[in-house]
Structure 1
């Protein structure tokens, strides 16, 4: 394995942090170029996904790649997101590394579908759409509390306490650790008032690290 060396300045490097992003260069896997922010779990996952693309890795020497890989993996470990690297390729472990918010994407401009994709990934989003609406019930839908059932599973979303509770196996064992959603939660959100559900997902995406998923 090459010795890790901090990347130097690149032609396409940024001169400073993107708007709304950390001003501390140590919160980036490539601090010299203000690239690959790793200050939150979903930014660390996004950094891993983007840096896994060969065209992005090719901009760096093997030693610089090793440095960026190390920084990203340390962040993922710190946030409790499991990751394996084999031959430079990411192995999805426990389903926690999925589609995430694109780097520098304006959350306020993301559609309901785009927001769901962040939390579900393509496969689970397709599965959520396939659930019969008759199997989804919404018992309470206020500004602060959302509750109901999907099949035999309960759903509780408390915006005041910043808590999301759900009892299916996929969510409890795979998704909650990465603050992501399962197909049942996706199906539940599809039954809500669409503007209200979109506002909730935008809020959740901004403040996901402050929420409890259990």
Structure 2
């Protein structure tokens, strides 16, 4: 196992935090150069995505890469986003991270499954498809409010209040912190009006850090 070593100063490093960003170096994957901020779920996901790029990793020694990977992974875990590095490879769940801010793709042209992939990751998307439609109930469907149940769990999505409420264990203890979906929410959205679901998912993708997931 490669020992983690804090990065040294780099030629392209910043002298201080970017405007509007934390002044605490500990809020960065690379604190010496004020790079890869990890102070919010959005920034932690972005840090993971950008540091996965070979051209960015190449600026650091293997020991420094291990340090930055560890800092980013710790932040993602704290925010409830499951992602790991094993042998230099990102596990499947990191598909969520890669898709978080689509590159070279217009959000308005993304398909329903592509949008769900952002919020579910590959494994949970497959699980959502596997849920029997008979256990999904959409009880209320308006322009601003979606409500119902999946199995014994309740679902409420309020576009006006920007709030997603759900009570399964995976969502409550894990996914909600990272503002991501569990398989039940995925299955629920598969049963609502497709255009309404697309509008919601695009709205969330553009600004879910302004939403409350609880």
TM-score by structure 1 length? 0.71
Q: Does 1:99 find its partner at 2:102? A: no
- Of 5, 8, 30 in structure 1, the residue corresponding to residue 8 of structure 2 is 5
Cα separation, 1, equivalents of 2:55 and 2:199: 35
Query: SS at the partner of 1:48?
Result: helix
Distance 2:21 2:128 in 1: 38
Shift of 1:58: 2.6
1:1-214 map, 5 Å: 1-9=4-12, 24=19, 40-52=40-52, 56-62=56-62, 65=65, 68-69=68-69, 72=72, 76=76, 99-100=96-97, 101-102=100-101, 104=103, 105-214=105-214
How many equivalent pairs are there?
198
Q: 1:66 to 1:117 in 2, by over 3 A?
A: same
Kept in 2: contact 1:120–1:180 (CA 8 A): yes
Instruction: State the shift of 1:155 in Å.
Output: 0.5
Question: Residues 138-159 of structure 1: CA distance to partner in whole angstroms, max 9, x if unpaired?
Answer: 1111111000111111110111
SS at match of 1:121: helix
Q: For residues 194 and 169 of structure 1, do their structure 2 counterparts lie closer, same or farther at Cα, with a shift above 3 Å needed?
A: same
- How far apart are 1:75 and its partner, in Å? 5.9
TM-score (structure 2 length as normaliser): 0.71
Q: Mark the runs of 5 or more structure 2 residues left unpaired by the alignment.
A: 23-27
In 2, the alpha carbon distance for the partners of 1:3 and 1:47 equals 16
Q: Distance in 2 between matches of 1:65 and 1:25?
A: 26
Q: Is the 8 A contact 2:81 2:174 kept in 1?
A: no
Distance 2:129 2:165 in 1: 21
Instruction: Give the Cα–Cα distance (whole angstroms) in 1 for the partners of residues 112 and 172 of structure 2.
Output: 24
Contact 2:107 2:202 in 1 (8 A): yes
Kept in 2, the 8 Å contact 1:2–1:66? The answer is yes
Task: Provide the secondary structure at the position in 2 that maps to 1:138.
Answer: strand
Any unmatched runs of 5+ in structure 1? 11-22
RMSD between aligned alpha carbons? Answer: 3.8
